[in-house]
Amino acid sequence: MWRSRVIARRVRSIRGFSHSKSDFPQLHSQVHNLQTLASYRHLENFRSKDLFPQSNAIRFFSSSSTDSVTDAEVSTGNNSDVIGAENENNDSFSFGEMWKDGINEANSVLEMDVSDSEIKESIEVVNEETHEVDMDELQRVLSLLKIRDGDSDVITVSLESKLDDMNLNLNKEFVVRVLETPHIHGENLIAFFKWATGVNNGEVFSVTTRSLDALVKAVCKELKKKVAYSLWDLIKDLGVKENNVLTTEMLNSLISVFSRLGKGMAGFEVFNKFEDFSCPTNANSYYFTIEALCRRSIFDRVGLVCERMLSEDKLPEAGKLGSIISYLCKAGMVKEAHSVYLSAKEKQKFPPQPSVNFLITSLCDRKKVDSDSVHLALKMLDDFNGEKQKHAIKQFSCVIQGLCRVNDFEGAKTLLSKMIDEGPPPGNAAFNTIINGLSKSGNMEEAIKTMRIMEGRGLKPDVFAYSVIMSGYAKGGEMEAAEKMLVEAKKSHCKLTPVTYHTMIRGYCKLEKFGKAVKLLNEMESYGVRANSDEYGKLIQSVCLKAANWRMGEKLMEEMERKGLHLNGITKSLVRAVKELEEEAKGTENVSVET
């Protein structure tokens, strides 16, 4: 039997040792591995009549320092209870021929079929040590698996048949060595694992956690859908039969590979099997599952996983928390992302700042903005302090925009005052946002007041600020106030925008002051603005429809032609129609007068 051969080889390796005292620790270590030669007490096992005749029974390493024997005494059987002892001067051990005789007889016994109960008991101890791997057999198996590397279409039955023909002497170490060998196709490894766990020279080879873990690690390095699903089928089968070999990390690795393959529901299926396989979930289990689901936009499952993660208080490390927050924000699940942020904050886990900034921006998103979300973002600004607050101008400005979108102008002005007092120092964007919101709501007094605060801080109001204020005045019909702001804007800026003039022209047309509107249209080029066809067209339409003044319309058309602009056919038809109506009306009047 192979165990007997292993022990025999170990016994024979002891022969070459020197007999000096300095070699005793090495000798003792080798003898200890055999257990039958391991200690002074257990050496008595070798006194059995089946091992040595009683007349020649020997006792190794007597504890008495005064007893000593000679080679002659050993050869005649005298003093048989004492074979070797340390001499009185403690210079060296004196073994003599008795050591050779003992080794030779031990070899002869260990080469026999082991049937003696005492020797079997000793072998059981040896069996606990690591099995040796036959390197020739290992190379044969690896050569077979590597030849088929990448050929996933070959039927695996032929591979199993070839493995059967090799008549391998499998052990746990051999299987692990094969599974840990790099550059072998995952499908081949799975086929070998299935074969190895079903056949072992006629005996069933039990699955171990170590071997299964080696298989999972090897297969998960490959991003191949078919191989990943094949591994999952194997794990599900083992989970029913031998769930004690599965671990949390194995299942986490499988969820991760499904995530990278874009198979979110497969990863979710693995996640739901933790309890069935008696494997506890951990923080990474939730992280990989959320990642897998978000990558495939399966957001209805993401909410359930997040809720369970928070209830079980299994939050991953800060970096992964940041990724979860970003995933949820991209999915539009800002409330869930904020819940994760609060839980992390409670556990003193601080996600990376970019993910926190992204959360604030998402809470204030103009497409899905609501008062609750914006105020959650406003509360998050309290966590900014010191150097972090000085560089958070974008986040503070974003919250101000959100507050203005939900018409919380008081909150926006309060936050602006906080920025002025504590930082970060507000720029034009923060002021413009509040001015724009106040102007649209018709609160022109507060808008002007905010602009004056802006000037007081040394900031120059830009054209946008003037334009929104003029728009607010024009909307309320206060064109005189709007005209004053236009004059102020001309003084501050040598170049205005089309929006500025469009706002004023529209306001004058609304009050049917077309002369002032045309005057503004003519002076636009003086301030770097060139009127386009649309601007002329809208003014002509207003003149014709509201004032029925086709003559002014024709003048504007002629002016357009000089500037190389073209009026659309509908507006031209409108001018002709107004002209014809007027001529028709005049003709009717002349007829009535003559009559």
- 131-172 tens-digit pLDDT: 578 888 889 888 888 865 444 444 455 788 888 888 888 888
Lowest-pLDDT range of 124-138, 178-192, 241-255, 312-326 = 124-138
What whole-number distance in Å separates Cα of residue 191 and Cα of residue 199? 12
**pLDDT interval class at 353 (50, 70, 90):** very high
Reduced 3-state DSSP string for 289-325: HHHHHHHCCCHHHHHHHHHHHHHCCCCCCHHHHHHHH
Distance of CA 299 to the CA centre of its chain: 16
What pLDDT, on the 0 to 100 scale, is given for residue 592? 60
What type of residue sits at position 242? E
User: Which residues pair with residue 93 across a beta bridge?
Assistant: 86
Q: For residue 231, what are its two tokens? A: 């591994």
Give start and end residues of each alpha helix (H) in 111-247. Answer: 117-126, 135-147, 156-166, 172-179, 186-196, 209-220, 225-241
**Strand locations in 409-520 (E):** none
**pLDDT interval class at 82 (50, 70, 90):** very low
- On average, the pLDDT of the chain sits at 78
Are the CB atoms for 476 and 444 separated by under 8 Å? yes
Lowest-pLDDT range of 23-27, 132-136, 396-400, 421-425 = 23-27
What whole-number distance in Å separates Cα of residue 164 and Cα of residue 476? 93
Q: Is 408 helix (H, G, I), strand (E, B) or coil?
A: coil
What pLDDT, on the 0 to 100 scale, is given for residue 4? 39
The better pLDDT of the pair 146, 39 is held by 146
What pLDDT, on the 0 to 100 scale, is given for residue 225? 93
Q: For residue 472, what are its two tokens? A: 């607010």
User: Which residues pair with residue 86 across a beta bridge?
Assistant: 93
Reply yes or no on whether the pLDDT at 53 is more than 70: no
What whole-number distance in Å separates Cα of residue 231 and Cα of residue 379? 47
Of all residues in the chain, the percent with pLDDT exceeding 70 is 74
Pick from 413, 389, 384: which is nearest to 400 by CA? 413
What whole-number distance in Å separates Cα of residue 578 and Cα of residue 576? 5
Reply yes or no on whether the pLDDT at 314 is more than 60: yes
If you average pLDDT over residues 61-71, what whole number do you get?
A: 38
Are the CB atoms for 492 and 460 separated by under 8 Å? yes
- How many angstroms separate the first and last alpha carbons of the chain? 140
What whole-number distance in Å separates Cα of residue 277 and Cα of residue 19? 56
